[in-house]
A and B are shown apart, each in its own frame.
Chain A
């Protein structure tokens, strides 16, 4: 039973345009969400997070939006750069259990 879902396995975007990566979750008790980026042969790297008391968090080119009623979050990358090409994982912090629940990832390819 997948509690965190990333329904798009891959996404291709032209350099300079916006990349939008989506994530859905099923457990309304989740109150903290994170995005990680993973390059081949490396571990996931923390990118940005958002608490459920907010609906938006911004860090440079990266913005995460949270829609609690829809149980949906998205990561926007503007402008996209070729170095952003990686697999992006959405994760929910399962509060009180000390674990993150990850989605299956979306492979982003930014075309030069």
Chain B
């Protein structure tokens, strides 16, 4: 039973560029959440997708956007990258009110 898978594992981008991160939820899960974990901090909620709609959004600018596909997989897009966007991006999936299952993350470095 595959858990949450994320791709790519590492990514280096230049300021101003755009990036797309991908996530496949754990089998049987229908809800996907994205978190940003900066160095030395806990994960911070970006947004959650359910039934292909953004259900809730955290305190992140509109440069951060996402999508959920009919197979429940999801993408996180970040436009106009800033140095401060360098972080570990974690995808988590869940079903109903079950605890979040996290993937191993995508390490994004913006230079």
Q: Write the residues of chain A forming the contact surface with B, with a CB cutoff of 8 angstroms.
A: 4, 6, 34, 36, 41-46, 49, 89, 91, 97-105
CA separation between A6 and B42, bound complex, in Å?
Answer: 10
Chain A at the B interface: SS class: strand
Q: Write the residues of chain B forming the contact surface with A, with a CB cutoff of 8 angstroms.
A: 4, 31, 33, 35, 40-45, 48, 50, 55-56, 58, 90, 92, 99-105
**A-B pairs with CB below 8 Å: how many?**
49
Chain B at the A interface: SS class: strand
Asked if A102 and B43 sit within 8 Å, CB to CB, the answer is yes
CA separation between A99 and B29, bound complex, in Å?
Answer: 16
Asked if A104 and B104 sit within 8 Å, CB to CB, the answer is no
- Chain A residue nearest to B90 (CB atoms) is A43
CA separation between A99 and B104, bound complex, in Å?
Answer: 19
Asked if A43 and B45 sit within 8 Å, CB to CB, the answer is no
Say whether, besides A41-B104, A43-B104, A99 and B45 are in contact (CB < 8 Å): yes
